[in-house]
Structure 1
Amino acid sequence: MDIILVPGFWLDASSWEEVTPPLVAAGHAVHPLTLPGLESVDSDRAGIGLRTHIDAVAQKVDSLEGKVILVGHSGGGAIIHGVADSRPDRVAHTIYVDSGPLGEGGVINDELPDDGDEIPLPPWEAFEDEDLIDLTDPLKEAFRARAIPEPKGVAVEQQHLHDVRRYDVPATIIACQFPSSLLKEWIDAGHPFTAELARIRDVHYIDLPTGHWPQFTKPKELGEAILTAVRRNE
């Protein structure tokens, strides 16, 4: 199966390198992506928005044969949901890593401090304690050394969706910061954060307790969790 891996903010394709071995060993073709504007710290990030990233992933889907599985971490969840909306007949499964689908009119995060056309990785003090669970000082240093400024437009541009068949695409939530039990409570309570997730007809949950960056804090376990989700298609 072709598995497309979409990183979250400040990260490129290499952020998945410790996650993919279980998927490759199981015979899957993995396609970790570096999205437009994230090629290097010197890349031009002007004019790049959420739709730019959705279209880039959709183009990758179009380059492959048959159905694909999409994996999105953090802000990458909004992107893969947009692709499921654009290509509902090509996406077999969406897997959200500490993330979820972003509904019509939503933005990923319009509160991050920007520097012109880009959003640098903020200081660690700007994050919640839950974000940083298991992210040791050496991991923080390694993360900051590899971090690439995120195009501002990706964070603030509204999501626009058009095809309700996106709700027929099976989804898996790999819950890290917030346990699946809490996400289900939010769905039952009608919380806006989970409104779009509540509309998906087939959702499975896998708990992987850690902080917001399991590809660094628990990469082997994340790879196994993704593989478990992928096997739902077999």
Structure 2
Amino acid sequence: MDLILVPGFWLDASSWERVTPVIEEAGHRVHPVTLPGLESVTADRAGIGLLEHIDAVVRLVDTFDEGTPLVLVGHSGGGAVAHGVADARPDRIHRVVYVDAGPLAGGSAVNDGLPIVDGEIPLPDWSEFDDADLVDLDEGLREEFRARAIPEPVGAAYDPITLTDDRRYDVPITVIACEFPSAALVEWIAAGSPFTAELAKVKHVDYVDLPTGHWPQFTKPVQLGQAIVAALSS
């Protein structure tokens, strides 16, 4: 299969580099993306929002032959992008794999509480994150992450997502749960939590637990690759 890998905030296509060999060894083709405004620290991020990120991946989807089974893999904020693409092209997407993420409900923003500095969102200080985010992210990995981090366009975090096609609920998904167990997601769905309202509407959902922090592509890349490959045979 062909997998389009969408990174989360502050990351570009290279953030998947320790995950992709596992997927390729299983016989699949990977297409990690760098979203608009994330090309470099000095890139122009003015006017780039969530829709521009979604549209960029939609354009990539449209380059494949219609018979090609495409899988979207979205990490963190990249999950919102993947969900937007599934809404725009529900007939083209074979499955969406959410990595410590989930489908974002219409009218919601990914995270409109992140601090804006000089018109963009740099990677915050580690103290701004929850302890669960940082599990297994040791000092060496934190230094590596910060060295490669690229400021996020404000709109990617603050813009509400617009969804129009209910066929998105027909696209099977896999949620790879890292920070908290999938059992918690099931409990929140049963309780009618707004956090899982969109997830509750998806007709075919598989869960995989990969206990670690919010960045498994750094902390457990091999296990993440294996989990993604396993999801493809669901």
The verdict on a shared fold, with TM-score over 0.5 as the criterion, is yes
RMSD: 0.6
Moved more, 139-148 or 116-125: 116-125
Residue 155 (structure 1) aligns with? 157
Unpaired segments ≥5 residues, structure 2: none
1:121 aligned residue (96, 120, 123): 123
1:210 matches 2:212:
yes
Match of 2:147 among 145, 148, 152: 145
Where does 1:1-234 land on structure 2 (aligned, <5 Å)? Answer: 1-65=1-65, 66-232=68-234
Segments of structure 1 that go 5 or more residues without pairing to the other structure are none
1:10-32 CA distance string (max 9 Å, x none): 00000000001121011111000
TM score, norm. by length of structure 1: 0.98
Give the CA deviation at 1:116: 3.1
**Structure 1: 4+ residue segments shifted above 3 A:** none
- Distance, in Å, in 2 between the alignment partners of 1:23 and 1:220 is 9
CA distance in structure 2 between the partners assigned to 1:11 and 1:230 by the alignment: 24
1:223 alignment partner AA: G
How far off is 1:64 after superposition?
1.2
SS at match of 1:190: coil
Rounded Cα–Cα distance in structure 2 between residues aligned with 1:166 and 1:205: 18
Distance in 2 (CA, whole Å) between partners of 1:115 and 1:132 is: 23
Percentage of identical aligned residues: 64
Question: How much does 1:67 deviate?
Answer: 2.7
Aligned residues: 232
For 2:119 and 2:224, how far apart are their aligned partners in 1? 32
TM-score by length of 2: 0.98
